[in-house]
Structure 1
Amino acid sequence: MNYDTPLIDRDSAGAGHAAHGRETVVSETHIIDEDDEFQRARRRKQIMIGGGIVAAIILAIILFMVFGKGDGAAEDGANAAQVPLVSVIVPGSESVSSGITASGTFAARNPLPVGSVGEGGQVVSVRVDEGDWVSQGQVLAVIDRSVQTQQAAAQAAQVQVARADANLAQANLDRALQLVDRGFISKADVDRLRSTRDAAAARVRVAEASLRELNARNARLNILAPAGGLVLTRDVEVGQVVSGGSQPLFVIAKGGEMELAALVGESDLARLTVGAPAAVRPVGTDREFTGQVWQLSPTIDETSRQGEARVALAYDRALRPGGFATATIGTGGVNAPVLPESAIQNDAKGSYVFIIDKDNKVRRRAVKTGIVTDAGITVAEGLTGNERVVLRAGGFLFEGDTVKPQLTNRAN
């Protein structure tokens, strides 16, 4: 319901109000319009506030997403910075020649002791000395033979007498044979003459045999080299009286060949074979001599648990019997991964290495080591050679650690 209220001119009212301080009166309709406008403004404000809140929420979400990811990346970067960098190698498989190191002393491979084989006597001449090279049949020393020479001369005369008797007996038989047909000599006489001739011929042979025996005995008074080689020792002087069967007067290394009697442990001896190559280095020299095993000891010393591997060596004046030397004897070759010593760890469970799997995790791998060479240590069991093996610093790693592998070569 509308109630009409008298309207007052705004100008006059304003004037009147200003002039007289009277209160301005408005219509009820005008008040209602102002309330509607207020409500609309209020709603607009509420909408603006709600939109601001929503915008703030969206902005917060965006900021969280942006700055939250940044913090995660930083954390990931920090974690990545803490992952250790380790050097690894892929060893592959190499052909490695194995060998056994042993030591021993030099000796003649075939020593020939030489002494007097005759009846002996006084030595009148020594024609060789230690270190001389001799040939087969060469005279080493001469023993006085003055008495034996006279005996041989007497026997030679006996041979001549026997031959003369034999010639006479043959002539008598020839004449008898010419007269037997005429009947001047009987057949019995011829038989006797023939027997005399045969006996005389036999005496000649006996005399000649005796002469050859004396000559042979006299020849044995000279001490001869039974084979060519190097004179190692001389134990006789001029004027010395020697007898047959006495101690050796000379020792000769046949052909000058030497050998190293290397002492080898029981287990290593089982790995060697006759004909195996060996590199021998005498003490006090940088020279290296090549030989080969020609004999392995059939027995093992019960105390030392060692046996001998005898290495044959060609003649060289630097190889002196009794000298000490070391030898590296080959036992064949193997194909196996080779690792530097720093890559192999040991504990109560045995030898092991750390490998890096496809996820860059540290894994322990038990291994069995083999031959030790200048290049490193061979791995007989446990590796194929295609693994990434931690090169060093394995003592600071643990099973399951995450690392950053850096492939390197063995030289580094």
Structure 2
Amino acid sequence: MSRAPDRLSSIGKLLLGAALLGWSAAIFPAASPARAEEPAVNVPKPPSVSVVKAQTGTLAETILMTGTLVARDEVLVGAEIDGLAIIELLAEEGDRVERGQVLARLSRDMLDAQAAQNRASITRAAAAIAQARNQIAEANANARQADAAFDRVRTLQDRGNASQESLEQREAAALVARARVAVAEDALRLAQADKDLAEAQQREIDVRIGRTQIKAPAAGIISRREAKLGALVSSGGEPLFRIIGNGTIEVEADVPETSLARLRVGQPAQVRPAGMTEPVPARVRLVSPEVDRTSRLGRVRLSVDEVPGLAVGAFARGAVEVDRREGTLVPLSAVLNRPEGPVIQVVRDGVVETRPVTVGLKAEGKAEIRNGLTPGEDVIAVSGTFVRGGDRVTPVPQSPAASAIQTSSIP
């Protein structure tokens, strides 16, 4: 009877131990499975930078200037006679005229009257010449007759048939006849001189009548008309018309002396006059050999192709191409200027490499790299901002258009 309670006690202890064991397993789970499910540690990604590829291309260096549209040769047309009124205008501003074309007419009534009076003087002088010639003919005839009579009397006197008084009378008559011939010849010369004077006066009047027509001395375009109907003209007054010789218009600009030394006659240029959206082709025609001592500026003239809409006096911008080269090009923002010289940052296999370079031309937001860079290499678009040589980066290709926008914002 005593063994039964002991057996029951042993079974109870076993059940109690099993229960306690299950409760502890539920509260304290195994550590080894939990460690197997922990996530792996992430490695940080290198920073992203914008890169562009170095390209082979042509770069043109230009000198910018501002100036004014002017006539290459301005022709001034004025009156060459005084005191006459303008009665007719035959040309207006903007008209293209030819050499010798009549632009205006002046009153010529008074000159026509003078011409008529002078023609009468010429006719009178011609009549006097004819009369003098007739008088010469008559005087010559009388002189021959008197000489013949004198010769007869002298012959008779030699024979003793005529007196000395008769001889002297015939001799005096011959001398008077020859004197009348000389007077008639002088009268002819006087009449001829009067006619020459009248003809010279007529030529002068004809010249003055011709000047009543104001003519263009050269072909071109009328830029200004000061002539007004009814106004009295003066040879020393303001020009009646201004003509752009041959219609040729230029840009006159002042440039600094440092830029003037690089300009040459014949260099190509582009001109953008005020109000025009498209540039106009041009060329350097004149580079002044003198620089103003005060402003240190020199004068340059650009010959502009003839296009509609050009107006003398208008503002214009010009760009002269002074150099053009072909080489390796990068954005200007990719060049970092340091005290020891310019450098660029190249990304190679995700690592930044800083290289010294030789920079050539700079224009259009680009720079020419003469040494230190090979076409096709990736360079950081904006150099020296956040990275240094040896840093690891993630290159992000940048389009050429975006690069141009970025560099154009740099002053």
| C-alpha separation in 1, matches of 2:251 and 2:398 | 43
Q: What's the TM-score once normalised by structure 1's chain length?
A: 0.69
Provide the residue aligned with 2:327 in structure 1. Answer: 336
1:217 matched to 2:181? The reply is no
**1: distance between equivalents of 2:257 and 2:195?**
67
Write the deviation string for residues 88-111 of structure 1: whole angstroms up to 9, x where unpaired.
63434x333332222222122211
Q: What is the letter of the counterpart of residue 397 of structure 1?
A: V
> What pairs up with 1:9-408 in 2 under 5 angstroms?
87=51, 89-92=53-56, 94-174=57-137, 183=147, 188-302=179-293, 304-347=295-338, 351-355=342-346, 362-368=353-359, 370-373=361-364, 376-379=365-368, 382-383=371-372, 385=374, 388=377, 390-392=379-381, 394=383, 395-401=385-391
RMSD in angstroms over aligned alpha carbons? 3.6
**Unpaired runs of 5+ in structure 1?**
1-77
Separation (CA, whole Å) in 2 of partners of 1:368 and 1:230: 48
Amino acid at match of 1:392: A
Deviations 1:311-332 (Å, cap 9, x if unpaired)?
Answer: 1234444001121222222223
**What SS class does the counterpart of residue 60 from structure 2 fall into?**
strand
Q: Could you say which structure has the greater relative contact order, defined with CA pairs below 8 angstroms and 6 or more residues apart?
A: 2
* Letter of the 2:105 counterpart: V
> 1:97, 1:333 → 2: CA distance?
4
Report the alpha carbon displacement of residue 286 of structure 1 after superposing the two structures with TM: 1.7
Using the TM superposition, name which of 376-385 and 146-155 deviates more.
376-385
Counterpart-to-counterpart distance in 1, 2:345 and 2:72? 51
Bigger Rg over Cα: 1
1:327–1:200 CA distance, 2 compared to 1 (3 A): same
Q: Which shows bigger deviation, 303-312 or 342-351? A: 342-351
- Cα distance per residue 1:17-73 (max 9 Å; x no partner): xxxxxxxxxxxxxxxxxxxxxxxxxxxxxxxxxxxxxxxxxxxxxxxxxxxxxxxxx
Identical positions, percent? 29
CA spacing shift, 1:283–1:150, aligned 2, 3 Å? same
Gaps of 5+ in 2: 1-42, 149-173, 403-411
- The C-alpha deviation readout for 1:213-245, integer Å capped at 9, x for no partner, is 122123223322111211111112111222221
Does the CA contact (< 8 Å) of 2:61 and 2:361 recur in 1?
A: no
More displaced 10-residue stretch of structure 1: 221-230 or 165-174:
165-174
State how far apart, in whole Å, the 2-side matches of 1:314 and 1:345 are: 41
Aligned partner of 1:213: which letter?
Answer: E
Check whether the contact 2:59–2:368 (CA below 8 A) recurs between aligned residues.
Answer: no
Matched-pair contact (CA < 8 Å) for 1:256–1:314:
no
| Aligned counterparts of 1:111 and 1:278: Cα–Cα separation in 2 | 23
CA pair 172-309 structure 1, distance change in 2 beyond 3 A: same
CA contact (8 A) 1:362 1:403 kept: no
